[in-house]
């Protein structure tokens, strides 16, 4: 029996990301805050990703690093925090309490329980000991204003205590309390990452006391986050939203109902969802190309990816844990990957056999645009993929 629901074709979905994710030249953003808001959140596990993701989407990419650092560390219009799927994201400050209440509180509870269990199994340290160390660390951090884990360990030597993680297993290892405790305090919104040590590509950060966040009802927060995510990623399936957030399926369905999400038919036969006022057609942009970084929020935005990523390309572009590497896009599809030569110049390989002259010309222009602001800065993705390794060599 034919469906009477609206239909969202793969072509429409590709046009939507071109415009809503600021990938088509005519749709590029003017600020890093606009980029982050339009994608709901930028992946922040690899520190370089947020800068590269912004640079790919800004009309003037000459200074994405300075603009991002201003937003993160001076004006605090953006914040880096643990969120969906226990992943680090950079997102608009207004969304921080939403993500904390909808997602990160649950992550923090699991993280604390896990740490206490591991301390009990691998040492004589217990909950009372941990609480006392926390109070001490937060006091020293408040006094300093901003500090590294090493500096805090000078003030509070108990941070150097070690315990055995997963004793008796093949992956048994010794861990230091400082690493786990600061991450836990971050997920509990008690501390926040500050400036990195060294350059903007560094994964070592200073820490500061986090500003207080309003406490929102979890169901309300999940609805708010779903509304923002569907605006940037709809149409999307229940499975997509469950994968992206890490929520239980009951919470996903309740959130979709709370925002009155409209079901639509997708080309692969599944059911997608959009916001009630978002069933219209997106005007097709002019042909476009993009070079997106490893863990970019667009290719990592959905669980089901066949509409923009051919299955044949996945082995070359993903690592074994499901992290995507740097990608080359043409009109809403991934057609290859890129890396950098030792001198910083981008080099790419197209996995589609014959994308056409227009695609080649556009990819060359995007590579030159990337090189114009990166210069000799060399980016090595935190999670390396087969094609990226091969090209960078």
Query: What is the reported pTM?
Result: 0.93
Calpha distance 331→352 (Å, rounded): 13
Rounded mean pLDDT, 305-324: 95
Residue 326 banded pLDDT, cuts 50, 70, 90: very high
Task: Confirm if 278 and 284 have CB atoms less than 8 A apart.
Answer: no
What digits encode the pLDDT tens for the residues 127-166?
A: 999 999 999 999 999 999 999 999 999 999 999 998 877 6
Confidence at residue 43, expressed as pLDDT on a 0 to 100 scale: 95
Task: Please provide residue 63's backbone torsions phi and psi, each rounded to the nearest 5 degrees.
Answer: -135, 50
Statement: residue 172 has pLDDT above 80: no
Confidence at residue 121, expressed as pLDDT on a 0 to 100 scale: 79
Rounded mean pLDDT, 29-52: 96
Residue 392 banded pLDDT, cuts 50, 70, 90: very high
**How far is CA 313 from each of CA 13, 220, 266, 352, rounded to the nearest angstrom?**
20, 39, 22, 9
β pairing state of 289-292 and 327-330: antiparallel
Rounded mean pLDDT, 214-241: 98
Instruction: Work out the burial of residue 19: count CB atoms within 10 Å of its CB; fewer than 13 is exposed, 13-18 middle, 19 or more buried.
Output: middle
Residue 306 banded pLDDT, cuts 50, 70, 90: very high
Task: Confirm if 294 and 383 have CB atoms less than 8 A apart.
Answer: yes
Give the SS3 label for residue 29: strand
Rounded mean pLDDT, 281-294: 97
Confidence at residue 122, expressed as pLDDT on a 0 to 100 scale: 65
Between 86 and 123, the more confident residue is 86
Count other C-beta atoms under 10 Å from residue 216's C-beta: 16
Tell me the two tokens of residue 50.
């947020």
Confidence at residue 198, expressed as pLDDT on a 0 to 100 scale: 85
Residue 60 banded pLDDT, cuts 50, 70, 90: confident
Confidence at residue 197, expressed as pLDDT on a 0 to 100 scale: 87
Task: Confirm if 317 and 336 have CB atoms less than 8 A apart.
Answer: no
Statement: residue 2 has pLDDT above 60: no
Rounded mean pLDDT, 173-186: 90
Residue 248 banded pLDDT, cuts 50, 70, 90: very high
What percentage of the chain exceeds 90 in pLDDT? 85
β pairing state of 346-350 and 173-176: unpaired
Mean pLDDT check: name the lowest of 147-156, 192-201, 231-240, 378-387: 192-201
Statement: residue 177 has pLDDT above 60: yes
Statement: residue 340 has pLDDT above 60: yes
**Where does residue 349 fall: left (phi above 0), alpha (psi -120 to 50 degrees), or beta otherwise?**
beta
Q: How far apart are the first and last CA of the chain?
A: 55
């Amino acid at each position: 029996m034919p469906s009477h629901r609206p239909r969202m074709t793969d072509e429409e979905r590709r046009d939507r990301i071109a415009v809503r994710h600021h990938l088509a030249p005519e749709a590029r953003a003017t600020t890093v805050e606009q980029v982050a808001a339009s994608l709901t959140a930028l992946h922040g596990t690899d520190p370089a990703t947020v800068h590269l993701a912004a640079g790919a989407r800004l009309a003037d990419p000459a200074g994405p690093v300075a603009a991002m650092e201003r937003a993160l560390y001076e004006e605090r219009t953006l914040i880096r925090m643990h969120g969906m799927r226990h992943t680090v994201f950079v997102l608009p400050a207004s969304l921080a309490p939403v993500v904390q209440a909808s997602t990160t509180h649950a992550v923090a509870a699991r993280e604390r329980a896990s740490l206490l269990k591991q301390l009990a199994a691998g040492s004589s340290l217990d909950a009372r000991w941990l609480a006392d160390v926390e109070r001490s660390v937060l006091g020293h951090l408040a006094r300093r204003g901003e500090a590294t884990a090493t500096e805090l360990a000078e003030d509070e030597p108990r941070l150097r205590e070690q315990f055995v993680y997963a004793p008796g297993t093949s992956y048994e290892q010794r861990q230091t309390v400082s690493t786990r405790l600061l991450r836990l305090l971050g997920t509990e919104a008690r501390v926040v990452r500050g400036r990195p040590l060294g350059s903007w590509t560094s994964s070592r950060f200073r820490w500061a006391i986090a500003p207080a966040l309003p406490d929102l009802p979890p169901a309300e927060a999940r609805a708010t986050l779903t509304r923002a995510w569907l605006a940037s990623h709809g149409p999307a399936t229940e499975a997509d939203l469950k994968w992206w957030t890490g929520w239980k399926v009951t919470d996903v369905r309740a959130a979709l109902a709370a925002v009155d999400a409209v079901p639509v038919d997708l080309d692969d036969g599944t059911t997608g969802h959009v916001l009630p006022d978002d069933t219209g057609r997106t005007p097709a942009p002019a042909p476009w190309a993009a070079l997106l970084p490893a863990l970019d929020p667009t290719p990592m935005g959905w669980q089901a990816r066949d509409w923009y990523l051919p299955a044949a390309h996945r082995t070359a572009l993903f690592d074994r844990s499901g992290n995507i590497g740097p990608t080359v896009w043409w009109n809403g599809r991934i057609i290859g990957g890129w890396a950098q030569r030792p001198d910083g110049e981008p080099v790419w390989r197209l996995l589609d056999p014959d994308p056409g002259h227009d695609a080649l010309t556009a990819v060359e222009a995007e590579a030159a645009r990337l090189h114009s602001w990166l210069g000799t800065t060399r980016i090595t993705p935190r999670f390396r993929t087969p094609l990226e390794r091969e090209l960078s060599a």
